[in-house]
Amino acid sequence: MARKKEIISLIDTFSEFKELKNIDRTTMVSVLEESFRNVIAKMFGTDENYDVIVNPDKGDCEIWRNRAVVADDVLEDPNLQISLTEAQKIDASFEVGEEVTDEVHFADFGRRAILNLRQTLASKILELEKDSVFNKYTDKVGTIVSAEVYQIWKKEMLLIDDEGNELLMPKTEQIPSDFFRKGETARAVVARVDNRNNNPKIILSRTSPIFLQRLFELEVPEINDGLITIRRIARIPGERAKIAVESYDDRIDPVGACVGVKGSRIHGIVRELRNENIDVISFTNNVSLFIQRALSPAQVSSIRLNEEEHKAEVFLKPEEVSLAIGKGGLNIKLASMLTEHTIDVFRELDEEGMDEDIYLDEFTDEIEEWIIDAIKSIGLDTAKAVINAPRELLIEKTDLEEETIDEVLRILKSEFEE
C-alpha cells in the first residue's frame, strides 16, 4: 500500500511541475506513459505486451499485462506467457492459446523500479523544461524583455526572468557605460538562442541596433502603428547613433514625431542608452541628399558619387570639415554606416588656382616613394588633393605616422606658398 501511495505521489509531483513550468497536460500524460514503459522495458526486455493508462483526473495510473496461455510444461517466459493452471485460477474457462489480461501494480515491481521511474521522469521533465524555454525564447528573438540582475561576472551578467529562467548578457552586448547592481531590473533585446547539446542559452543585447529600434517603437506610437517606418540604423553603443525614418503620409513629419515636443519622446530612449546621442534624419532614395543629411550638422558644398563602388567624395568649406568628421571621427563613421557608402571628405578648393596642381610623383626627390604610394592608394594623386584632405583622414586612411603626414603636408604646402 505504501508503494502505491508513492506512485500516486509521483503523479502529484508531475502535476505540480505542470503548474510551475507551463507544460501542457497532453505532453505530461505522454511523458508519464513513456517513463513507465521505459522502466518496464528495462526490467523485462520489452513493454509491447503492456497497456499503460494514465488517469490525470484521478491522479493514478493503471498497468495491464497481456500474456498468452500455454501448457504448464512449456512455460518459458512468465512475462509473456502464463501457465494454463495459473490462468484457470483467474477464470476456469481459459484454454491454451487464449490471452489473459491482468492488472499489475507498479509498486510490486520493487524499490529499484520506483527509483528508476523517478530518475526517468526527472530526465524527461528536464528535457521538456529545456525545450519549453528554447521554444519560448526562439519566438522572442528581436523583442525586448525585462529581467532581474542575479549575478555579475567579469565577462557576462546573469539575469533571471519572471519564470526563473536564466538569461545571459555578455560584456560585449552591454553598453560600455552600463552599470547594474544585483536585484535591479535590466531591459534588453533577445539577440539569439543557442542550443548546444540540448542546453539552451538565451543571449540578451543592449548594443544591438534592434534594441534601439524596439525602443523607438515603444516610445513613438506612429512607428508602432506603421505610419512611420525606420529605414536604417547606424549605432556606436553608448556614444552616438543615427536613425533614418520615413513617413508615407505627407501630413506627418517623421523626424518631429520621433523626437517629440522639446525632445520628450527621444529623452527616454537616450536615458535608457546611457546618454547615447541620437540623430534622427529623414530617409530619401536620393543618395546624394541622403549623404548630406547623414553628415549633419555639417553643411555639404558638393558631392561626387561613385555608385558602382559605393563611394562618395564630399567637399565642404574648411570650417565645416571638423563637423563632418565629428569627435573621434564618429560622425563620418556613422554616416558611412547609415548610407552604406564609403565617405571621404575634402576641403573645398578656392576658385583661384584650381587648374594649378602638381602630381605627387613630382615630389620623389623630397618624399620617399613608399610614402607617396601609400597616399595614392587612398585615391589622392595630386598635391592639392592631399592638402585639401583633412589631416585626421590622411592619418587614418594611409596608416602613416602623424609626423610623416605633417612633413608631407609641409613639403606640399611650401610648393604653393610662393
The DSSP bridge partners found for residue 356 are: none
Dist CA 306 CA 291 (whole Å): 13
**In the numeric block, which cell numbers belong to residue 94?**
481459459
pLDDT of 10: 53
> What is the pLDDT at residue 29?
80
**Strand 60-70 relative to strand 81-83: parallel, antiparallel, unpaired?**
parallel
Residues 6+ apart with CB under 8 A from 89: none
DSSP class per residue in 205-227: ESSSHHHHHHHHHHH-HHHHTTS
Q: What is the pLDDT of residue 12?
A: 55
Please report where in the chains the cell 584632405 appears, as a residue.
Answer: 389
| Opening angle at CA 53, ends 50 and 54, nearest 5 | 140
| Phi, psi torsion values for 58, nearest 5 degrees | -85, -20
Helix (H) / strand (E) containing 89: helix 84-90
How do beta strands 311-316 and 342-347 pair? parallel
E strands of 258-417, at which residues? 277-282, 300-306, 311-316, 342-347
pLDDT at residue 351, rounded to an integer:
47
DSSP state of 59: T
CA torsion sign for 174, 177, 182, 186 is negative
Helix-helix angle 330-339:318-325, to 10 degrees? 70
Non-local CB neighbours of 206 within 8 Å, separated by 6+ positions: 169, 173, 174, 175, 178, 186, 187, 188, 189, 237, 273
At 19 the pLDDT is 54
CA distance 317 to 302: 10
The count of C-alpha atoms lying within 13 angstroms of the C-alpha of 4, restricted to the half-sphere facing its C-beta, is 7
CB contact at 8 A, 345 and 316: yes
Instruction: Round to whole Å and give the CA distance between 344 and 379.
Output: 10
Q: Is the peptide bond before 221 cis (omega within 30 degrees of 0)?
A: no
Q: Given this model, what pLDDT does residue 163 score?
A: 87
* Collapsed DSSP state (helix, strand, coil) of residue 184: coil
Q: How far apart are CA 101 and CA 157, in angstroms?
A: 58
Q: Is the pTM of this model over 0.75?
A: no
Q: Is 327 helix (H, G, I), strand (E, B) or coil?
A: helix
C-alpha distances in Å from residue 378, one per residue of 173, 315, 321, 368: 33, 16, 18, 17
Q: DSSP letter at 49?
A: T
Radius of gyration of the chain (CA): 37
Q: Which three cell numbers stand for residue 325?
A: 568628421
Q: How many residues does the chain have?
A: 418
The C-alpha cell that represents 148 in the structure block: 532581474
Q: Which three cell numbers stand for residue 123?
A: 530526465
* Rounded CA separation 284/293 (Å): 9
How far apart (Å, rounded) are the C-alpha atoms in residues 352 and 350? 5
For the chain, 418 residues long, give each residue's pLDDT as a single digit of tens. Answer: 554 555 555 555 555 555 545 567 777 788 888 888 888 888 888 889 999 888 766 667 788 999 999 998 888 888 899 998 888 888 888 899 899 998 888 777 778 877 888 788 778 878 888 888 899 999 999 999 999 999 999 999 999 999 889 999 999 999 999 999 999 999 999 999 998 888 899 999 999 999 999 999 999 999 999 999 999 999 999 999 999 999 988 899 999 999 999 899 999 999 999 999 999 999 999 999 999 999 999 999 889 898 889 999 998 887 888 889 888 889 999 999 999 999 988 887 654 444 567 888 888 888 998 999 888 888 787 888 888 888 888 888 888 999 999 999 999 888 877 5
